[in-house]
């Protein structure tokens, strides 16, 4: 049994609703606009500020030390680092 031939791309585009065409046109520019976020490197101290992480910036080291001794923030961090940093 041979597979059915693929429909012509022009037919597929013509069969889209106006809303689907609008979403389709909006999708690619969004990918281009935010592609740097997908490849961004997140420093380890952001993922876990309570871990012993070396940081070159002295001011940041002091703030991380204060942060790492705060028991209330540790509880908040256990809920997830995304909520913690908000």
Predicted local distance difference test score (pLDDT) of residue 8 = 57
Predicted local distance difference test score (pLDDT) of residue 65 = 81
What is the value of pTM for the model shown? Answer: 0.38
Residue with tokens 């001011």: 59
Mean pLDDT, rounded, of the chain: 73
Give the residue extent of every domain in the chain. Answer: 44-84
Q: What is the separation, in whole angstroms, between the first and last Cα of the chain?
A: 57
Predicted local distance difference test score (pLDDT) of residue 43 = 81
**Cβ–Cβ under 8 Å, residues 74 and 51:** no
**Per-residue confidence at 31, pLDDT binned at 50, 70, 90?**
low
Q: Is 29 exposed, middle or buried (0-12, 13-18, 19+ CB in 10 A)?
A: exposed
Cα 61 to Cα 81: distance, rounded to the nearest angstrom = 19
């Amino acid at each position: 049994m041979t597979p059915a031939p693929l429909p012509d791309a022009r037919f597929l585009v013509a069969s889209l609703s106006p809303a689907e065409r609008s979403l389709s046109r909006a999708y690619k520019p969004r990918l281009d606009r935010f592609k740097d976020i997908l490849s961004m490197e997140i420093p380890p101290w952001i993922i876990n500020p309570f871990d012993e992480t070396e940081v070159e910036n002295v001011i940041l080291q002091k703030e991380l030390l204060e942060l790492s001794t705060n028991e209330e923030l540790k509880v908040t961090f256990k809920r997830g680092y995304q909520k913690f940093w908000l």
